Amino acid sequence: MADTTPRATSNRSTTPGSSTFKDHIASQWADRERPLPEPREQAAFAAARRARVSELHPGRTIVVPAGQAKVRSNDCDYPFRPHSTFAHLTGWGTDTVVGSVLVMTPNGSGHDATLYFRATAGRDSEEFYANPEIGEFWVGPRPSLDEVAADLGLATADLGAFAAVADGLDASVLVVRDADTELTRVLDERLGTAVGGAAATDGAAATDDVLSRDLSELRLVKDAYEVAELRRAVEATRSGFDDVIADFDAVLAHPRGERIVEGTFNRRARADGNTVGYDTIAASGHHACILHWTRNDGAVQPGDLILIDAGVEVDSFYTADITRTLPVSGTFTDVQRTVYEAVLEAADAAFAIVKPGITFREVHATAMEVIARKTAEWGFLPGTAEESLQPDNQFHRRYMVHGTSHHLGLDVHDCAKARREMYIDGVVQAGMVFTIEPGLYFQQDDLTVPEEFRGIGVRIEDDVLVTEDGAENLSVGIPRTPSEVEGWIARTGR
């Protein structure tokens, strides 16, 4: 449905267009042997997820686009990553074909699922050699319809056939609207609605929102495949932290040492996974007090603490999200250790209460009790910890303005469109995976704290799996106590 001609390339194309050349380039190619693959492991899990969506929306056609490549500059795109909902419901990972669309059509007792995508082009097609966006000479071969059908356990059809499907849709169709804005716009035009505009029918907008909500809530509890992939992501992330510590000499020697940290970790993410799950935070010294410091252009000095918030995204798109705060010189100063131990106490207290049946917000509240008590003991608050914990006061939040936990999975902040009563106010269930990440951040110009505390920022973040009777810290193998961290640097670094 979208324009597939090359962007911004026709004015510099030198590809021959004569019939003689076309005949020549289409000839004398060896036959390819491409046996059909066995279904990939996640295919059965994806089918079960689609079945749950089908139960939630009987009789409604559901359209889930993978999305299009996003332009970085002129005719250069960012690496393509399909919409997380598409990956969740198909099981397709980094090999997803750009522009694909999953359509779930009601069949009376459930839904039939068909995956529409642009299949591989024949060698007699000009696309094969002349289209720099999708041609095989330029970006590599695409799979056939039969190969993907066998691989994902889904019926498949060429993307060109989707136009006829779109023509037959009515206003009852449900669309993941933010996955492919151009496709959504075209569907809205055909159905007489408009994306987010005044012309959109209240019913269409509401039901699409409900679909997105349900698809987010479907991911609150992870299945066995998802948990295994998150374990893989955590293990790769552990290796990335090892690499960074081993590179400390180069980090210290470079005027933008934070960039060396970022590059070293990102190298591991590309080697052992797809990429990083989010922009790496490599925040040394007072930069650690800036919660989303991703500029990473600062020096790393002896005596600094460096806060590294990083996670590897594996090829299925599941990502870890780990933070460790490391003493660059190998040992904590007394004040650094004091702050670090307070944060660790908050993290451990929050972890200790995690089990099915609590509410998600209790995790944050428990961590905040420790943060309030510690900052009160140090004399930083205009009152007692109990007074600070009152809803209208919250003085301790000056030093930790963020939340303690968020769900984790295909997105680093997973399940973002779930209802509040299912998320922050929701009941914790076995199979949920979320972070626990308290911190303390004393800005370099904060006059409410003694000078020796200013410029110190500490966060400890772990990824937690809720079990039937408690919780498992998936990242416990990444050193986290002060003595463990110091020993880690001693044996891994210089």
The two tokens of residue 244 are 């960074």
* Alpha-carbon dihedral angle through residues 282, 285, 289, 293, given to the nearest 10 degrees: -30
Give the DSSP H or E segment for 459.
strand 457-459
Q: Report which residue type is found at 188.
A: D
Q: What does the block give as tokens for 400?
A: 């930790």
* Token duo for residue 401: 């303005």
pTM: 0.94
Long-range contacts of 95-100 (CB under 8 A, 24+ apart): 95/143, 96/66, 97/66, 97/142, 97/143, 98/66, 98/67, 98/68, 98/69, 98/134, 99/2, 99/65, 99/66, 99/67, 99/68, 99/159, 99/180, 100/65, 100/66, 100/159
What CA–CA distance (Å, rounded) separates 113 from 106?
A: 9
The average pLDDT across 236-261 equals 98
Q: Which two tokens stand for residue 200?
A: 């959109």
Are the C-beta atoms of 412 and 278 separated by less than 8 Å? yes
Compute the C-alpha angle 475/304/256, nearest 5°. Answer: 95
Structural contact between residues 402 and 436, judged by C-beta atoms closer than 8 angstroms: no
Token look-up 């399909």 returns: 82
How are the residues of the chain apportioned to helix, strand and coil, as percentages rounded to the nearest 5? 40, 15, 45
Average of per-residue pLDDT across 192-215: 66
What is the rounded CA–CA span in Å between residue 284 and residue 258? 7
Contact at 8 Å (CB) between 261 and 308?
yes
Chain segment 92-122, per-residue pLDDT in tens: 999 999 999 999 999 989 999 999 999 988 8
pLDDT of 198 reads: 37
What are the tokens at 97?
Answer: 């074909």
- pLDDT digit string, tens, across residues 411-445: 999 999 999 999 999 999 999 999 999 999 999 99
**CA-based end-to-end distance of the chain:** 56
User: Which residues, including other chains, have CB under 8 Å from residue 194's CB and lie 6 or more apart?
Assistant: 185, 188, 200
The CA–CA distances, whole Å, from 411 to 230, 370, 488 equal 11, 29, 29
Per-residue DSSP letter, 63:
E
Q: What single letter denotes the amino acid at residue 466?
A: V
- Please calculate the CA angle 419-421-426 and round it to the nearest 5 degrees: 115
Calculate mean pLDDT across residues 375-396.
Answer: 98
Mean pLDDT across 307-312 = 98
Given pLDDT bands bounded at 50, 70 and 90, which one contains residue 494? low
**pLDDT beyond 70 at 193:** no
DSSP code of residue 65: E
Taking all residues of the chain, what is their mean pLDDT, rounded to a whole number? 93
